[in-house]
Amino acid sequence: CVLVIALTVVGSNYINLSSRYAIRKGEPTIQSQAAEYIKSHNPDGVILNYGCLDCGLYLAADQIPQFKHFETQNLLYDKYPENIDEQKRYVEQHLADYVVVVPLPKTNINKIMENCPALKTDYTVVLTGKIPLHDLGIKAKELNISFYLFELKEN
């Protein structure tokens, strides 16, 4: 019985540590860089993951999402408009101090800002970078996707 428990613990640790999703040492991720920026500029700043599924910033920044619609779901707008409409409202009403946008491959950030003008007029891009797709478990020909961190402009 003790041997079974020991082997289970050792095997579990090996699988977790060898996983491509395990924490890596070395070059910091764009999510950790963004989290450090937020913590150093506005530690209580509210984050919104706009227009995409969660990209890992909430975890990196040690934050619990503050919004019901904290990420965009992969649902058709015609069938479920509330998700996108609410995210747009959060931005327009300045409810988020930081907005992270990770456009899908071949989606231009200007198109996203065109669909949500407040993102362009009321927020400033403070950090950009790339996320390797293999870190998100996505298989595609393009190796990286863009990452944009917007900060609410001061009045």
pLDDT in tens, 25-82: 667 899 999 999 999 999 999 999 997 778 888 888 888 888 787 777 777 889 888 8
- Residue 56's pLDDT is 85
Structural domains counted in the chain: 1
6 in a domain, yes or no? no
Burial class (CB in 10 A: 0-12, 13-18, 19+), 90: buried
Full strand arrangement of the beta sheet holding 47-50: 47-50, 98-101, 144-152, 123-132
Q: What is the CATH number of the domain that holds 71?
A: 3.40.190
Report pLDDT for 4.
Answer: 45
Q: Which whole number is the average pLDDT over 128-149?
A: 73
Tell me if 1 is assigned to some domain.
no
Domain assignment present for residue 69? The answer is yes
pTM given for the model:
0.76
- Mean of pLDDT over the chain: 80
**Which pLDDT band holds residue 24 (cuts at 50, 70, 90)?**
low
From the list 40, 52, 29, 73, the residue with the least C-alpha distance to 151 is 40
Give the domain extent around 98. 27-152
